[in-house]
Structure 1
Amino acid sequence: MITAYCSNCKSVEIRDLSHAAKFPDDVVWIDLLEPTREEELYVEKIVGIEVPTRDDLKDIEPSARLYTENDAVYMTASLVWKAETEAPTLTDVAFILVGNRLITIRYAHPKSFALFIAALHRVPEEWRSGAALLAKLLETIADRTAEILELSVARIDILSTHVFGDRARKVRKPSNYLEVKLRDIAGHHRLVSKVRDSLASLARLMTFFYTIPAVQKDQATKELSRTVSRDIQSLTEHASYIAGNITFLLDASLGLINIEQNSIIKIFSIASVVFLPPTLVASIYGMNFEFMPELHWVAGYPSSLGLMVMSAIIPFFFFRWKGWL
């Protein structure tokens, strides 16, 4: 789908590709959402540049993501998509500056684009140029990334409360409770990892974007791009801090699982030691030799039972005195 946005913020959805009519002169942003090959060829013919395909966007080499060709500036960044779901992923988005126009090519629906389109009418008229709109769009992407990190921090705090708080209150939980929490921790780690990868690609893009002539000529766009670069750097450091907290939570959860397993093993070990002396007594008097003094003793049976009970009680209280129970 091709959507063209004019300088007055009105959008025009291009549906008829039967003839190659040029875009209106006041079009400043052309958004290609999951374009077909026919739509790509249509834009190439109208604008006069080569449009990257879906396979081109997957290249990870910086030289294939950030370059200038025939007076057109090509930039590709990885954005976080489906951050609110259990399977967040990265989607590659291409940004092309040609003349006074911005062209975006995407095969997903990052929320940052929806937020930017919804607020497009609030962009001042002096910002409605290709480079200025891209700077504003990148600012919205950075803000959305910050929102994702804030959401992740809130969820990790709740998870930490579940892991440590319930244990402090001695709330009974299912035997696999911590194992379930480990899967939740892995999900948060995946999200933060995707955010860090996205921020790394955005940092490279901003470094390249800051040097292009269209940005250097516009002081306001230049200042905004510098601000966005600082925001991305701060978000990268914050993401690293969150990743460290997740690592701590993971190690702590594994430690708690080991403690619970050791407690179970300790109970069985103590039980075996407690019942070992009675077993020894029973074994001695179960040998049934012909000449055993206690075989004809009237009080032999109750005495052996009492000896077995005493041999079990004494180790039990000894372990309690030592604090092993």
Structure 2
Amino acid sequence: MINLHGPQGAVDVSGLDGGAALPAHAVWIDLVDPTAEEARRVEEKTGIRVPSRAALSEVELSSRLRRSRDGISLSTPMVTFDRSDFSLKPLGFLLNKNHLVTVRYHDMRAFAAVRKRVDEEGGDGSTGARMFLLVVEELVDNLADLLEEMSADLDNLSTRIFDFDASARPGARKGDTSAPKRRDLALRRLLRTVGRHGKSLSKVRASLLGLERIVAFAKGECGQHLDEGDAPRFETLARDIASLDEFETRLSETLQFLLDATLGLINVEQNNAFRILTVVSVVGVPPTLVASMYGMNFKHMPELDWVYGYPYGLALIAISAIVPLLYFKSKGWL
């Protein structure tokens, strides 16, 4: 699909189905999952070869930042901004003095915002470089909003981790044997949540790194064609991206801290389990000793002739089990 925009707003594309040439006043050509025919028409219009999706997905720097005779080709991975399907997809920019061509494979609210800005709010899209600035500025704004949402999510996650006490949930009965299972399930959920946030932050980091590179490259390559006021916008963009990169780094450090805290909670739960096993094993030793002692087959054992010898043995076994329990309880192990 082809979307066209000129300095005054959207350009009608209804008459382009028959293979007509693209209008001369179209500055921004937005290709959404383009067909081979659409790519050919854009190449005829701008003189810049439209890369394939595989070419836009290349990871080496020489493939993402290229200079040709007719313009520059830039590509970067960009997050989808959809939290239900958070993934990275390629985004391409083809730029020369008169045109900006964007190549994308998913809907992005940043592009809709730029169209509205040009159509209704008088955004300056008179040149390819200025249209490029509008698009990248909106992408940076969206990434900033996304990082703010992630920061709020990490705050909530921090509260969940450091207030974690599944056994004290409302409605839980004292001595409820399902409490360990609930704690285990809650910790698993926390760990999965931390993992999802880490995965999302890594995708945002890749998007910021890609934007940082293409902004610097575009400014260097288009410097002689920039009008007064364009160069400061490039510098502002670079500073904004750098500040977002620092913010993302702090969020990553916070996430690592929360991961360590979650693993610490898991270790505490494991230690509790081992502590219970230790108490059980220690409590079982004295009764076993008493039972084994009175189970010896010697002929002369005074207790064999006692009327209350059997109750005495049972009482001794019970006392030898209760005393360690009371001791561990006084030490706070139970």
Could you tell me which residue of structure 1 aligns to residue 10 of structure 2?
10
- Secondary structure at the counterpart of residue 165 of structure 2: helix
* Gaps in structure 2 of 5+ consecutive residues: 173-178
Q: How does 1:224-239 map to 2 (within 5 A)?
A: 224-239=233-248
Could you tell me which residue of structure 1 aligns to residue 175 of structure 2?
none
User: Residue 76 of structure 1: CA displacement?
Assistant: 1.2
- Secondary structure at the counterpart of residue 27 of structure 2: strand
Q: TM-score, normalised by structure 1?
A: 0.92
Tell me the distance in 2 between the aligned counterparts of 1:60 and 1:219.
34
Contact 2:97 2:127 (8 Å CA) reproduced: no
1:300 and 2:298 correspond = no
Contact 1:17 1:39 (8 Å CA) reproduced: no
Q: Which amino acid aligns with 1:95?
A: F
- Secondary structure at the counterpart of residue 119 of structure 1: helix
Could you tell me which residue of structure 1 aligns to residue 25 of structure 2?
26
Tell me the distance in 1 between the aligned counterparts of 2:79 and 2:245.
14
Contact 1:210 1:216 (8 Å CA) reproduced: no
Could you tell me which residue of structure 2 aligns to residue 151 of structure 1?
149
User: Residue 279 of structure 1: CA displacement?
Assistant: 1.8
User: Residue 313 of structure 1: CA displacement?
Assistant: 2.2
More deviation in 143-152 or 173-182? 173-182
Tell me the distance in 1 between the aligned counterparts of 2:288 and 2:294.
10
More deviation in 40-49 or 119-128? 119-128
Report the aligned-residue RMSD: 2.1
User: Residue 90 of structure 1: CA displacement?
Assistant: 1.2
Q: Which amino acid aligns with 2:5?
A: Y
Count of aligned residue pairs for this structure pair: 323
Could you tell me which residue of structure 2 aligns to residue 38 of structure 1?
37
For residues 165 and 13 of structure 1, do their structure 2 counterparts lie closer, same or farther at Cα, with a shift above 3 Å needed?
farther
Q: Which amino acid aligns with 1:161?
A: T
Return structure 1 stretches of 4+ with deviation > 4 angstroms.
Answer: none
User: Residue 118 of structure 1: CA displacement?
Assistant: 3.1
User: Residue 92 of structure 1: CA displacement?
Assistant: 1.4
Contact 1:178 1:253 (8 Å CA) reproduced: yes
Q: Which amino acid aligns with 2:66?
A: Y
Q: 2:207 aligned to 198, 201, 206, which one?
A: 198
Tell me the distance in 2 between the aligned counterparts of 1:19 and 1:37.
13
* Gaps in structure 1 of 5+ consecutive residues: none
Contact 2:57 2:77 (8 Å CA) reproduced: no
1:48 and 2:59 correspond = no
Q: Which amino acid aligns with 1:257?
A: I
For residues 245 and 15 of structure 1, do their structure 2 counterparts lie closer, same or farther at Cα, with a shift above 3 Å needed?
farther
Could you tell me which residue of structure 1 aligns to residue 176 of structure 2?
none
Tell me the distance in 2 between the aligned counterparts of 1:102 and 1:167.
55
CA distances 1:68-123 after superposition (whole Å, capped 9, x unpaired): 212312111221114412x4211111111233111111112233223322333245
Q: Which amino acid aligns with 2:112?
A: A
Tell me the distance in 1 between the aligned counterparts of 2:240 and 2:6.
29
Q: 1:246 aligned to 231, 255, 260, which one?
A: 255
1:167 and 2:165 correspond = yes
Tell me the distance in 2 between the aligned counterparts of 1:290 and 1:32.
100
- Secondary structure at the counterpart of residue 27 of structure 1: coil
Contact 2:46 2:99 (8 Å CA) reproduced: no
Could you tell me which residue of structure 2 aligns to residue 106 of structure 1?
104
For residues 126 and 257 of structure 1, do their structure 2 counterparts lie closer, same or farther at Cα, with a shift above 3 Å needed?
closer
Tell me the distance in 2 between the aligned counterparts of 1:51 and 1:225.
24
User: Residue 215 of structure 1: CA displacement?
Assistant: 6.8
For residues 164 and 189 of structure 1, do their structure 2 counterparts lie closer, same or farther at Cα, with a shift above 3 Å needed?
same
For residues 15 and 255 of structure 1, do their structure 2 counterparts lie closer, same or farther at Cα, with a shift above 3 Å needed?
farther
More deviation in 305-314 or 250-259? 305-314
Q: Which amino acid aligns with 2:9?
A: C
Q: Which amino acid aligns with 1:138?
A: V
Tell me the distance in 2 between the aligned counterparts of 1:119 and 1:189.
33
Q: 1:141 aligned to 136, 139, 142, which one?
A: 139
Q: Which amino acid aligns with 2:3?
A: T
- Secondary structure at the counterpart of residue 45 of structure 1: helix
Tell me the distance in 2 between the aligned counterparts of 1:322 and 1:32.
71
Could you tell me which residue of structure 1 aligns to residue 68 of structure 2?
69
CA distances 1:25-74 after superposition (whole Å, capped 9, x unpaired): 32111101000111111221233331111121112222222122123121
